Amino acid sequence: MSKISFTDGGGSPAEDRNRRERLGLSVDDLAAAARIDSATLVAYEQTNAGSEPDLVVRQKVGEALTRLEAESETE
């Protein structure tokens, strides 16, 4: 079985939640940036460490966080 690699983001749900909080983003703000439902983001962030998160959500969240972090660095 091959591993899926991500070019942007792709951290653990807990790491992604920490990134969101460092940026001062609400769940609704990040969900909108990632183009997912807020409830989907909450479920993703609450994924247990031993469980596999939804890879599509993981990718969307990671890409949105990477983009938002880059934008915050240029401000």
Assess if residue 63 is contained within a domain: yes
Q: Domain of 60: which CATH number?
A: 1.10.260
pTM: 0.84
Q: Letter for the amino acid at 69?
A: E
Assess if residue 58 is contained within a domain: yes
Assess if residue 29 is contained within a domain: yes
Assess if residue 6 is contained within a domain: no
Assess if residue 4 is contained within a domain: no
Q: Which domain holds residue 54?
A: 13-73
Q: pLDDT in tens for each of the 75 residues of the chain?
A: 333 434 445 689 999 999 999 999 999 999 999 999 999 999 999 999 889 999 999 999 999 999 999 999 887
What pLDDT shows up at residue 65? 97
Assess if residue 8 is contained within a domain: no
Assess if residue 3 is contained within a domain: no
Total domains in the chain come to 1
- The Cα–Cα gap between 32 and 68 comes to 12
Torsions phi, psi for 67 (to 5 deg): -65, -45
- The Cα–Cα gap between 30 and 71 comes to 14
